[in-house]
Amino acid sequence: MKMGGVTIREVYVRWIGIFVLAYVMSLIHGVDPGETRLQKYATAWIFTCTYWNAAFLMFMHFRKVYPEIKQTPRRLLVTALTLASFMVIVDPLLCTVFNINQDHDVFSLSYILPNSAINLSVAGVIGSVYENCYFFEQWRTSI
């Protein structure tokens, strides 16, 4: 993968990260009544896979739009806002599609706000992986 002229071998990081982060998220959310640990993990994996791959596409897009080092703050801000908006919109939709949290109104603010806090922490983990990989590769190629 090329990010701003720097090659990053991220496919392994992405797929290992998705499985690990999905496991952590399944532990954080806990098992609901009538649900097995495997079902909870599968659900967390679907959500994490969706978020991680969307984040990957957003990071790639905004890396091309804002390639210069002096544009880093703007790129990070625009990426974070776009990813946060995506997660706020997609989370209730995924909950509806997979019939999760049937006893809650997944489109209400009382549901969206707490879940957004969890989703934004996931976005922070994903974002830090890509930014750290990118800056490490930039540092390595400048030596």
Summarize pLDDT for 26-64 with one digit per residue, the tens: 888 777 777 888 988 998 899 889 988 898 889 889 988
- Per-residue pLDDT at 103: 66
Q: What is the pTM of this model?
A: 0.76
Instruction: Please state, in angstroms and rounded to a whole number, the distance separating the CA atoms of residues 2 and 114.
Output: 35
Sorted by where each begins, the domain ranges of the chain are: 2-142
